[in-house]
Amino acid sequence: MSNRVYETKTLFVTVKTYPNPSKKHIETTCVSGITDEGYWMRLHPVHFRLLEDSSQFQRYSWIGVRVNKATQDPRPESYHLDESKIEIIRHTTTDNMWQERREIIEPLLSRSIEDLQDQQASNRTSLGAIRPKEITRFQIKDTDPHWSPKQRAKLSQLGLFSPQNVPLLEKIPFEFVYDFSCDDPRCNGHSMQVFDWEVAQSYRRWSRDKSRTEWEKQFRDMYDYRVRRIYDTIYFILEASSLPPNNAHSQLFGESIYAIKSATAYKRRNIIS
């Protein structure tokens, strides 16, 4: 560790994923963002629930971080984070229909997932953003309500990062999936799961002591109706979870090439306050 060279970076946080059980790290979150120099950066692993309160940054904040190039993760955007030195600089505003945030994200928009796949093939791009052409459906799919014994063993490990004061990570018993198409003649449509911490958190908050009918109504209003009918601009932030099959590291990652990491939106003026 000590011989690694750290760099200081300023990062606009676009996505924090809901934590995943991890063999080495108990549980990990993946953070993606855009640096003030205008390129994508992924921070992984991040032990987000174990960070000091003063270091627990929010999405859409500018943060100052110390990072070095990840050695275990061959994706070009991936960096290792020094979790002891995170400075929350400021939270961005939503004024003027998300102007500040749009000005950071829009220069990095790609046309389509097909376009991102081309970039992946040519220079191993593994993070990007698109504006979907049409979102046709939001699915709430049942999954196992319990961690598997293997996942539970990972979450119960003792060690350097033991979450002594942090409750056991809650299993989200659903997958949330958008069906959509891109603005590209090659597009045959996509169906992708959302991994945002915020979506999981909405589920946890709204489902407590509520029937499925009750929470689903509120949940669909936010993530289905508003996203598909009200917000006039949606960005999906996408991550390559696998490398080309001929790459020696390809088995480290999942099957799907891109997964939706974020559905962000800004509001059509005067429709929603």
The residues of the shown chain that bind Zn ion, judged by CB under 5 A, are: 112-113, 182, 187
Judged by beta carbon, residue 186 or residue 210, the one nearer Zn ion is: 186
User: Under a CB-based contact definition with an 8 Å cutoff, are residues 65 and 32 in contact?
Assistant: no
Judged by beta carbon, residue 55 or residue 119, the one nearer Zn ion is: 119
The minimum distance between CB 68 and Zn ion, in angstroms, equals 34
Judged by beta carbon, residue 11 or residue 129, the one nearer Zn ion is: 129
Within 8 A by CB and 6+ apart from 119, the residues are: 110, 125, 128
Whole-number Å distance between alpha carbons of 246 and 251 = 10
Cα angle: 46, vertex 27, 144; to 5 degrees: 135
Residues 45-70: b if buried by 16+ CB within 10 A, e if exposed: bbbbbbbeeebebebbebbebbbeeb
The minimum distance between CB 187 and Zn ion, in angstroms, equals 3
The minimum distance between CB 235 and Zn ion, in angstroms, equals 15
The minimum distance between CB 263 and Zn ion, in angstroms, equals 15
CA distances from 134 to 53, 87, 131 (A): 39, 38, 9
Judged by beta carbon, residue 70 or residue 234, the one nearer Zn ion is: 234
The minimum distance between CB 125 and Zn ion, in angstroms, equals 15
